[in-house]
Amino acid sequence: MFEGFSERNIEGDGVRLFVRMAGPEDAPPVLLLHGYPQTSAMWHGVAPLLSKSYRVICPDLRGYGRSGKPPSDERHLTYSKRAMANDLVKMMGSLGHKKFYIGAHDRGARVAHRLGMDHPDRVKAMTLLDIAPTREMYANTSFPFARGYWHWFFLIQPSPLPETIIGRDPAGFWKQKCFNQASGDNPFLPEALEEYLKAFSDRDAIHGSCEDYRAAATIDIEHDDADGNRRLSMPVLVLWAKNGTVGKCFDPLSLWKMRAENVSGGPVDATHYMAEEQPAEIARQFENFFTHQETTLQKAVS
């Protein structure tokens, strides 16, 4: 995986992040953010394609993979999307990227949302894969959603309940959750799956990822509410899985139009793990969208 990519450990906002990078150094930067319970390895099919035209940066989020897993706090601020976004802004700044594009899946897309709200001057445009806004998903919970996304309600239980249960068989839990979201199949490259399972065997990773969800149900919603009527100002492309829970239980485009000023998008013929099932299609969608934005920005400058 990731032939031609370099690997580095870079300081975030108090947490060291593991990062994969490739592409022309003078090309527009694209930050790719992974979801739960994965790592930056999820971009193994997409990142090499994008790196032909873009400088591609793929970090493991705090609490995941080979990145730092700091102790949490009672309000779950340590694993808030704001804290994760601050990691990425500092990391990208240290690499010399003051403005960048974002492509993000699942939990990473929630981090991207907060990054765009807190640091709108840093993001040129973003593509979000298979999510609706967190607050609205919780507020509009239905039986089909709760059944399909049972882990949302399990992982937010007080520590150490989910950590203890998951810790008895991390690989079994990982496969149960992820294969079920892929219609019972295994869409994962063996090398990527090996990385996921190895990373998830770490008790600190199990706890950190639970804290990610606890933050989503509490402090992240507080931050969303504090935004008031303010919306994402940069262009946003929203793609959701044609064969996934989000598109069946919600109207992603309508909900994102409530949270962003300039939104477009539609379904992709895949399950939740679309970047690994349809990497060429996802890379094409990213590149078309980002190239259009880059052309628009260049025309505006000239």
Supply the residues annotated as catalytic. 106, 272
Q: List the 6-11 sheet strands across, edge first.
A: 6-11, 16-22, 55-59, 29-33, 100-105, 123-129, 236-241, 263-268
Are the C-beta atoms of 3 and 86 separated by less than 8 Å? no
Residue type, 35: G
Residues 6+ apart with CB under 8 A from 164: none
Closest CA to 106 of 15, 231, 226, 209: 209
Diameter of the chain by CA atoms? 60
Tokens of 98: 């003051």
Write the DSSP symbol of residue 61.
P
